[in-house]
A and B are shown apart, each in its own frame.
Chain A
């Protein structure tokens, strides 16, 4: 007769603590927020919600309004492109010290700077920069550039740090200046990577630029906020549709480009 198998091992203590912690976090979140489920699913809320949604139809399609939307879309695209360009330039400038090429003190300072730039979202940057740059797309451009500089600077710095150092040191030993050695040895190696990071961020920034206007920083978001606050739902609906269209087109274009690049 075969003996009984041993009992299954209990789960490890750290896993148990982790799971309990997760459960506690979720429960505490729901408990402390006191979400108004009742109001959300009451007949009253349902009716007003449906009314709200019905207010969107039909979207405003008058010629002058569409022109305004087109203008705002161009504004959004310009903001994203310009800010990405600025961020790429500043990102490289900051990535040099942040890759440890200019000593430990500068390394620590620039890394901290990049982290702060990166961890504050575009929208928060925008609402702070509004004070210096005034309402409008310029503040939005600066805000996008600030956040993107943090993101790109860190990616660039990591790419530079992971580079095999041999080609650059060889040039340095042969008497080239540090900048020349960087331009001739390091830059050509990481350029494709930098390009692809920058393009990827541009795609991201188009989405971000579309909503930045909600705090008054230009683009489609500003129109949306404006019409929503006046309860002009049909205009708001057109703006939302324009946003969705723009995002879809950009997504499709980048998917197509990527497939082209990897396919060939």
Chain B
């Protein structure tokens, strides 16, 4: 245990005493003391509201674009709508290749962390919410697409199969068989991801992708404790509200 722990402590430069050195104690104390009272001038609160809305908007717009990219990819990646799978238990070569390609694309999209996408997009499109929206769209597109395909594959396929066997088209079978079967699970997962996207969009603000995160980064750099304090409060409330909205929506479905 110690043999493992020791190099870990060294690598992570674990020196708790730093925290208690006079200099850093003083800095922390000054910073913490400036938390009270939180900034509450009208002008600042207005700024904060705009930033908060921007955070929610980035998450919502990003997730909408993510849906546009996830749905077609999930339909390509799922096995439940394959007619050749029904006939022989195997997929035709072309269909199988397309399916594998869609899966690899989904893996690639979601393996790169959203923050890295955001860093790259900030370089391409410049500072601002556009980078955040694109980063969420790509990462969450990958996650949603993969999970949608899994949900479609694991839900009851009897209805879909029968429709296909009776000669209905693949998309029609999706809307009349697979979707009514899996809709609650799909919607519930999407709401959960929306909640995650709100948290993600705050984080991406730290690399310059707009919203609450960017403001917080600026205030932290200026050591403006009172502003940081009100932002943290707003942020905890925002996350709590998103959590509440998404759980109550999921309860309604369940």
CB atoms of A and B under 8 A apart anywhere in the complex?
Answer: yes
CB distance from B151 to the nearest CB of A (A): 19
A134 touches B24 (CB 8 A): yes
Closest Cβ of chain A to B227, distance in Å, is 12
Are B124 and A26 touching (Cβ within 8 A)? no
A127 to B115, CA, bound (A): 15
A137 — which chain B residues lie within 8 A by C-beta? 11-13
Q: Min CB distance, B50 to chain A, in Å?
A: 9
**Proximity bits, A113-125, B CB within 8 Å = 1, else 0:** 0011001110110
Say yes or no: A120 contacts B125, CB within 8 Å: no
Question: Contact check: which of B11, B64, B199 meets A74 at CB < 8 Å?
Answer: B11
Known contacts A29-B56, A30-B64, A119-B235; is A248 also within 8 Å of B111 by CB? yes
Nearest Cβ on chain B to A75's Cβ, whole angstroms: 5
Give chain A interface residues in 32-74, CB to chain B under 8 Å: 32-33, 35-36, 39-40, 45, 48-49, 52, 74
CB contact under 8 A between A133 and B119, given known A32-B57, A128-B228: no
Q: How many residues of A contact B (CB 8 A)?
A: 55
Give Cα A36–Cα B130 distance, bound, in whole angstroms.
7
Whether B12 pairs with A78 at a CB distance below 8 angstroms is yes
Which of B78-86, B174-182, B215-223 is the contact stretch?
Answer: B215-223
B-side contacts of A98, CB under 8 Å: none
Given the contacts A29-B57, A131-B27, A137-B12, A35 and B130 also touching, CB distance less than 8 Å: yes
Asked if residues B111 and A141 are in contact (CB atoms below 8 Å), the reply is no
Q: Which of B167-201 contact A (CB under 8 A)?
A: 199
Is the CB–CB distance between A33 and B130 below 8 Å?
A: yes
The answer to whether B113 touches A211, judged by C-beta atoms less than 8 angstroms apart, is yes
Cα–Cα distance between A70 and B86 once the two chains are bound (Å):
48
From residue B211, how far is it (CB to closest CB) to chain A in Å? 10
CB distance from B234 to the nearest CB of A (A): 11
Determine the chain A residues whose CB is within 8 A of the CB of B31 once the complex forms.
Answer: 131-132
B74 at the interface (CB under 8 A from A): no
Of A29, A119, A218, A240, the contact of B61 (CB 8 Å cutoff): A29
Given contacts A119-B239, A132-B27, contact A214 B119 (CB under 8 A): yes
A238 to B159 alpha-carbon distance, docked (Å): 48
Q: Are A40 and B12 in contact (CB-based, < 8 A)?
A: no
Q: Measured between alpha carbons, how far is A245 from B76 in the docked complex, in Å? A: 26
B140 at the interface (CB under 8 A from A): no
Q: Is the CB of A78 within 8 A of B11?
A: yes
- Known interface pairs A35-B130, A75-B12, A133-B19. Does A120 touch B206 (Cβ–Cβ under 8 Å)? no
- CB atoms of B54 and A32 under 8 A apart: yes
* One of A128, A138, A225 near B13 (C-beta < 8 A): A138
For chain B, the count of residues having a C-beta within 8 Å of the partner chain is 56
- The answer to whether A121 touches B199, judged by C-beta atoms less than 8 angstroms apart, is yes
Q: Judge whether B115 and A132 touch: CB under 8 Å.
A: no
Contact bitstring A219-235, B, C-beta under 8 A = 1, else 0: 00100110010000000
B236 close to A120 (CB less than 8 A): yes
Q: A33-B133, A214-B119 are in contact. Are A136 and B13 (CB under 8 A)?
A: yes
| Contact residues in A for B7 (Cβ distance below 8 Å) | 74, 78
Q: Tell me whether A52 and B206 are in contact in the complex, defined as CB-CB below 8 angstroms, given that A30-B61, A33-B130, A119-B236 are known contacts.
A: no
State whether the Cβ of B93 lies closer than 8 Å to any Cβ in chain A: no
Counting chain A CB atoms within 10 Å of each CB, the highest count among B203, B217, B228 belongs to B203
User: Which residues of chain B are near A207, meaning CB under 8 Å?
Assistant: 113
> How distant is the Cα of A75 from the Cα of B19 in the complex, in angstroms?
20
The answer to whether A40 touches B116 (Cβ under 8 A) is no
CB <8 Å contact, A40 and B119: no
* Residues A121 and B203 in contact, CB atoms below 8 Å apart: yes
Q: Kindly state the separation between the CA atoms of A82 and B9 in the bound complex, as whole angstroms.
A: 7
CA gap between A52 and B131 in the complex, in Å: 15
A-B contact pairs, 27 of them (CB 8 A): A26-B61, A29-B64, A30-B57, A32-B53, A32-B54, A32-B57, A35-B61, A35-B130, A40-B134, A78-B7, A78-B9, A78-B12, A79-B11, A82-B14, A119-B236, A124-B232, A127-B220, A128-B228, A131-B28, A132-B19, A211-B113, A211-B116, A224-B119, A228-B123, A240-B112, A247-B111, A247-B113
Taking A33-B58, A35-B129, A40-B130 as given, write out 15 further A-B residue pairs in contact, using a Cβ cutoff of 8 Å, ordered by the A residue number: A29-B57, A32-B53, A36-B130, A45-B124, A49-B124, A78-B12, A82-B9, A119-B235, A120-B235, A128-B228, A131-B220, A132-B28, A214-B206, A215-B206, A224-B119
A: residues with CB less than 8 A from B are 25-26, 28-30, 32-33, 35-36, 39-40, 45, 48-49, 52, 74-75, 77-79, 81-82, 115-116, 119-121, 123-124, 127-128, 131-134, 136-138, 140-141, 207, 210-211, 214-215, 218, 221, 224-225, 228, 240, 243-244, 247-248
